[in-house]
Amino acid sequence: MGDNPASRVYVNNKKKACEECGFKSEEFALPEETTEEELLSLIDTLNKRDDIDGILCQLPLPCHINEEKVLLAIDYSKDVDAFHPVNVGKIMIGNFDFLPCTPAGVMELIKLTGIEVSGKECVVIGRSNIVGKPQAMLLLHANGTVTVCHSRTKDLASVTKRADILIAAVGKANFVTADMVKTGAVVIDVGMNRLDGKLCGDVKFDEVSSVASAITPVPGGVGPMTIAMLMKNTLKACKLHNNLN
């Protein structure tokens, strides 16, 4: 809804990924003044369509729309963002169909790099429902020892410096500096910020890369993995709806 430039970039990237995977995608670009009732009616229509396996509502929504109500309206079996309370609950107990795309992408990066999570000290900076909280849960499922930091955390640097795996998801440009990172730590930057017209993450890359054993860049790190996990969730939804193995 509306004309958010960042949302337009994300939607275009998702459409391109669908095309590359051979998935059919439909975009419903609604004007900002669209009412909540009209949006909920569209979601209801898509819920009932057998040819639609996945539905996502690009966030953020305009301030007159109740975001929680919209996410709740999406059929949880088509919730390929994994934001519906049913899917969130399934993640909590470890019996899930879909995972939130960004945290899942982070875990895939860690796995494919051959980094072991089990027994490691893991620190997540940020406690959002979209990244921070589910990220902590996935690290816990992988047997990491997890600390979640946030705006009320005292002496943040002393906590982050303990981390073998540090994940920054705070939404502040260049927030994590070298003096906050343990030598040899794995640093994953989930942030996507604009500074002086350029994209940058939450981690001061040039500084921290000299301390870390592995680090993700922005752009080009977690972002493409997020879209890849969206495709994976959509394929899983299709298989579930059609009783395919």
Domains and CATH numbers, the chain: 1-78 (3.40.50.10860), 101-222 (3.40.50.720)
Judge whether 104 and 129 are in contact, CB under 8 Å: no
Nearest to 101 by CA among 75, 130, 129, 142: 130
pLDDT at 78: 98
Looking at residue 203, the DSSP 8-state letter turns out to be: B
pLDDT means per 10 residues, the chain with 245 residues, are 84 95 96 97 98 95 96 98 96 96 97 96 97 97 98 97 98 97 98 90 97 96 96 98 92
User: Can 75 be counted among the known catalytic residues?
Assistant: no
Written as six digits, the tokens of 197 are 């017209």
CA–CA separation, 11 and 7 (whole Å): 6
Q: Which of 53, 79, 81, 164 is catalytic?
A: 81
Q: Is the pTM of this model over 0.75?
A: yes
CA–CA separation, 161 and 181 (whole Å): 5
Q: Which of 14, 182, 204, 232 is catalytic?
A: 14
Q: Residue 239: what residue type?
A: K
Written as six digits, the tokens of 226 are 């997020």
pLDDT at 155: 97
Q: Which of 58, 164, 182, 189 is catalytic?
A: 58
Listed in sequence order, the residues at least 6 apart from 97 whose beta carbon sits closer than 8 Å to its beta carbon are 77, 87, 90, 236, 237, 240
Q: Which residue is it, tokens 């007159």?
A: 64
Which helix (H) or strand (E) element contains residue 113?
A: none
Nearest to 5 by CA among 57, 60, 80: 60
- Rg over CA atoms, the chain: 19
Task: Tell me the β-bridge partners of 173.
Answer: none
User: Can 14 be counted among the known catalytic residues?
Assistant: yes
User: Can 135 be counted among the known catalytic residues?
Assistant: no
CA–CA separation, 89 and 46 (whole Å): 23
